[in-house]
Amino acid sequence: MQICQCFIIMSYTIESIVEKTGARRLGNKPATIDWLLTDSRSLCFPEETLFFAIPTKRNNGARYIPDLYERGVRNFVVTSEDFKGLTMDSEQLKVTMAQECNFLIVPNTLKALQKLSEQHRGSFQIPVIGITGSNGKTIVKEWLHQLLSPDRVIVRSPRSYNSQIGVPLSVWQMNEESELGIFEAGISEMGEMRPLQNMIKPTIGILTNIGGAHQENFFSLQEKCMEKLSLFKDCDVVIYNGDNEMISNCVGKSMLTAREIAWSMKDIERPLYISRVEKREDHTVISYRYLEMDNTFCIPFIDDASIENSLNCLAACLYLMVPADQITERMARLEPVAMRLEVKDGKNNCILINDSYNSDLASLDIALDFLYRRSQSKGLKRTLILSDILETGQSTTTLYRKVAQLVHSRGIEKIIGVGAEISSCASKFDIEKYFFPDTKALLASDVIKKLKNEIILIKGSRNFSFDLVSEELELKVHETILEVNLGAMVANLNHYRSMLKPETKMVCMVKASAYGAGSYEIAKTLQEHHADYLAVAVADEGSDLRKAGITASIIIMDPELTAFKTMFDYKLEPEVYNFHLLDALIKAAEKEGITNFPIHVKLDTGMHRLGFEEKDIPQLIRRLKNQNAVIPRSVFSHFVGSDSPQFDAFTRQQIERYEHMSTELQEAFPHKILRHICNTAGIERFPGAQFDMVRLGIGLYGISPIDNSVINNVSTLKTTILQIRDVAEEDTVGYSRKGHLVRPSRIAAIPIGYADGLNRHLGCGHGYCLVNGKKAPYVGNICMDVCMIDVTDIDCREGDQAVIFGDELPITVLSDTLDTIPYEVLTGISTRVKRVYYQD
């Protein structure tokens, strides 16, 4: 999850913050704080910002203080060690900083942030709903907002800000106008709920469900459930699924004093009895009995998760005494919750960022921040298309003054406003601007046709139908796309990081277009998450990344002799595996007058592919010592079979050889040479072989090389049905009459073939795709651009989606069928398949 953004709050004086956090203050500059910042990249209003230097496993926010100071920030929360570190070299600096800044010294900066948030929460007496559970938290929160906001001013977590940092920032948004709070709490290990409980202090608790997500740090599901329930310690009421035995047992054991509204489809004795759930074509009819009264409502969804989410919402509405007829009316209008920012290619070299999430200031800020980060060095103009923001509790002028400030601070160059309110505040924006009374007027205008070379954030409130705007601007492509979930990739990165010692560095492998996922967006995201190195195969992949603005260190695994100049120009650090390459490289560098260009020395410890051997080391040392054009930055080797116990003895032998050879090299040089040997499987299976760095590949893309299990699925390959026809039993389908039928069949054609990377061996019933969640086998030979699938037993129409692989159909099912490895299937998806990125 992307956390740590900039948050608007009620104004506090620095004195009152000192008092609330119990901090020791150095400096006495008067200040008023409107914004909290934990991620330096999100800075927008330096003067009114208070920066919390929060340490993470591998980084410390304090590192960014000098940069923030340069950019005008003057208020910082730090530990005394942080402060010592900052002023270590200069007594003078200490004096200057104390004159110009306020440093609030605390023992623990995260705790200080949380304490502040607790105190802030303590000054409000309003009801607060706290939501926890494994899935559905954000949807339940957003639906409750949809159901309850007509009658009250609600403050809620933006997106899924539910972590140790996300919660304090969310709670911080409470102000005098707030009448109800709705906050999510997410945990991934024992003991994390307590601080969240202290900040949220819910009066109404909802447990959505308990599943396997984030299970790795818990002993059992039950333990996780008990930890989650501790959020409800002081609640007046707790809402949960009474049919879930484990949850019911845990609630029984947890000795909560709260009233319980357990809902049940089986037990009429439960406080909320669900007497009927009837799925129709596109909606579900639900009847319930509560306090002796029977009522019915519909929701415009038919999946089980939506039904469960709606029942949790129902219980909360009933408890808050929303009249039954209003519940019925509002349930029928529930809107799906799109929780992601979509990045798509638009016409005329535009990039579209589609934020179909609700529109409010906090989520506008997040989206603008996202846009700003994407725009850097792409040379595209930054444009915002924004509708009226339907946020209660602020006057139009105040609201749009804040919008204008945000727009200005995030470097937006053009605004297109849609709606009466934003139009009435046109004068507040002093950039290129256009205003329209409604979406129709915008679509009819020239302004939309003239968008060109721009990166455009499209953000509209629901009733403005901005999907029409993005549809108009989207580049229409081949209907087959590879969807890449950047959030899942980050989760995988963190999953593997959690297996490393904090000081172990990481190379992220983005070779072969990031295993097929597309290098730029992946590299960009990895860079944002502080990957130490990126590695690509050839120099051109590296220079493309540089041209697109990637500044992280890049290793070239396969440096061609013809590409040295490119490598020097773009500071791409080559792997060097033999003397021929080394000599040529040194010569080329000397010719350019380059010194100390970093190289990565590869050793052969058993793969017998590329690399120096043991007997080469003394000569290698001599050759390197004899010049100063290049310098060994790292020394590494590669495992042959670290994924399989069958080769463990060999792997250990490789480690031993590597240890020996790399030590010999290191001892010949005074500077530190980074050592690394582990790939993904090595990280998991040989934690003792981390050395200084590891190289993460396939795991980043969601696949565990050990058992082919999927960690967090990143890529989904999907397409749409072009045509459906009935074919008689005696007929055949496709080339060479290979598609034989055993009954009269419905056959669908989809626009994906072997030229897109759909392996021909999946044809003739060997493989299948999913249509509306059901298996549709490939019928007959797969063609170059199209193939046919059997949908006889599937309720589907032309235009429906077919998933080739994805969340429900793991790519490993395909690679197993094809008797190959997932790497090959992933990297085989051809470049003509459009990559579409999104972020949860």
Ligand X SMILES: *Cc1c(COP(=O)(O)O)cnc(C)c1O
- Residue 524 or residue 600: which is nearer to ligand X going by CB? 600
- Residue 369 or residue 575: which is nearer to ligand X going by CB? 575
Q: How far apart are CA 705 and CA 680, in angstroms?
A: 7
- Residue 313 or residue 509: which is nearer to ligand X going by CB? 509
> Which residues are CB-neighbours of 178 under 8 A, at least 6 positions away?
124, 126, 153, 154, 155, 393
Clarify whether 434 is annotated catalytic. Answer: no
Of the candidate spans 235-243, 697-705, 718-726, 745-753, the one that interacts with ligand X by CB under 6 A turns out to be 697-705
The sign one gets for the Cα dihedral 505, 511, 514, 520 is positive
- Residue 466 or residue 636: which is nearer to ligand X going by CB? 636
Q: Are 654 and 606 in contact (CB under 8 A)?
A: yes
Q: Are 76 and 103 in contact (CB under 8 A)?
A: yes
Which of the following is catalytic: 511, 524, 602, 718? 511
Q: How far apart are CA 632 and CA 573, in angstroms?
A: 10
Query: CA torsion, points 257, 262, 266, 272, in degrees to nearest 10?
Result: 120
Q: To the nearest whole angstrom, how small is the minimum distance from the Cβ of residue 633 to ligand X?
A: 15
- Based on the shown chain and the rule CB under 6 A, indicate whether residue 822 belongs to the binding site for ligand X: no
- Based on the shown chain and the rule CB under 6 A, indicate whether residue 638 belongs to the binding site for ligand X: yes
- Based on the shown chain and the rule CB under 6 A, indicate whether residue 710 belongs to the binding site for ligand X: no
* The 102-105 sheet, strands edge to edge: 7-13, 32-37, 49-52, 75-78, 102-105, 24-26
- Residue 485 or residue 679: which is nearer to ligand X going by CB? 679
- For 67, list phi and psi in degrees, rounded to 5: -65, -45
> Which residues are CB-neighbours of 446 under 8 A, at least 6 positions away?
none
Clarify whether 511 is annotated catalytic. Answer: yes
- Based on the shown chain and the rule CB under 6 A, indicate whether residue 611 belongs to the binding site for ligand X: no
Residue 204 bridge partners (DSSP):
129, 237
Of the candidate spans 97-105, 616-624, 655-663, 673-681, the one that interacts with ligand X by CB under 6 A turns out to be 673-681
- Based on the shown chain and the rule CB under 6 A, indicate whether residue 702 belongs to the binding site for ligand X: no
User: What is the C-alpha R_g of the chain?
Assistant: 29
User: DSSP assignment of 719-731, as one string?
Assistant: EE--EEEEE-TT-
- Residue 205 or residue 574: which is nearer to ligand X going by CB? 574
- The correct pick among 205, 697, 757, 767 for binding ligand X (CB under 6 A) is 697
Question: How many residues sit close enough to ligand X to count as binding (CB under 6 A)?
Answer: 12
The sign one gets for the Cα dihedral 363, 365, 369, 374 is positive
Q: To the nearest whole angstrom, how small is the minimum distance from the Cβ of residue 769 to ligand X?
A: 25
Q: To the nearest whole angstrom, how small is the minimum distance from the Cβ of residue 762 to ligand X?
A: 23
- Residue 170 or residue 634: which is nearer to ligand X going by CB? 634
Binding mask 677-696 for ligand X (x = CB under 6 A): --xxx-------------xx
Q: To the nearest whole angstrom, how small is the minimum distance from the Cβ of residue 681 to ligand X?
A: 6
Q: How far apart are CA 775 and CA 723, in angstroms?
A: 18
- Based on the shown chain and the rule CB under 6 A, indicate whether residue 516 belongs to the binding site for ligand X: no
Please report, as residue ranges, which positions from 568 to 587 form the binding site for ligand X (by CB under 6 A). Answer: none
Q: To the nearest whole angstrom, how small is the minimum distance from the Cβ of residue 697 to ligand X?
A: 2
SS3 state at 669: coil
- By beta carbon distance, the residue nearest ligand X is 697
- Based on the shown chain and the rule CB under 6 A, indicate whether residue 714 belongs to the binding site for ligand X: no
- Based on the shown chain and the rule CB under 6 A, indicate whether residue 557 belongs to the binding site for ligand X: yes
Which of the following is catalytic: 253, 547, 571, 735? 735
- The correct pick among 128, 139, 509, 733 for binding ligand X (CB under 6 A) is 509
End-to-end alpha carbon distance in the chain: 7
Q: How far apart are CA 93 and CA 199, in angstroms?
A: 37
Is 609 assigned a ligand-binding role in the annotation? yes
Q: To the nearest whole angstrom, how small is the minimum distance from the Cβ of residue 634 to ligand X?
A: 11
- Based on the shown chain and the rule CB under 6 A, indicate whether residue 163 belongs to the binding site for ligand X: no
- Based on the shown chain and the rule CB under 6 A, indicate whether residue 705 belongs to the binding site for ligand X: yes
Alpha helices in 452-530, H assignment, sequence order: 467-473, 486-497, 511-515, 519-528
Residues annotated within a binding site for substrate: 609, 784
Residues annotated as catalytic (active site), given as ranges: 511, 735
Contact residues for ligand X (CB under 6 A)? 509, 557, 638, 679-681, 695-699, 705
